[in-house]
Structure 1
Amino acid sequence: MKEKIVGILKDVTGLDDAGKDFDQDLFKDGVLDSMATVEVLVTLQDDFGIQVPVSEFDRSQWSTINKIAQRVQELE
């Protein structure tokens, strides 16, 4: 699952080094901005069949690849 998330991040951001550290804070380090976050969420929803209501989105719960994988597993 984490490798698929890394692929999504690379596709959305165009950064080859996105995902080299599964605990990297993607927001703090500038990997994800508002638009990229929406695109990642939509792709995660499509690829994993989950729903992430925008009203319930908390950046702190989606800030690293490890956290994204955990949230996706919880929502599946």
Structure 2
Amino acid sequence: MATLLWPLFVLGNTGLENEEQRRFVLDRLANIQKTRNLGSVKRTIDAVKHAFVTKGLFSSCNKAWVHETYRYISLA
């Protein structure tokens, strides 16, 4: 069964402009988690939420913010 985990991860880590777009990504990830409760889905949700917060707080910085916890996530 194909999953949209990788595209949603990439989309969630881009510069989403408003809350509606962020909610779309999180809702789709939650639906995947309901059908396939895997650790990689939970970690992807956490990483996307972290990206939302980080980009919201540090949007004026040009630095790439990478959290050590989310460096190695299997999106298979």
TM range (shorter): 0.3 to 0.5
Q: TM-score, normalised by structure 2?
A: 0.32
TM-score (norm 1): 0.32
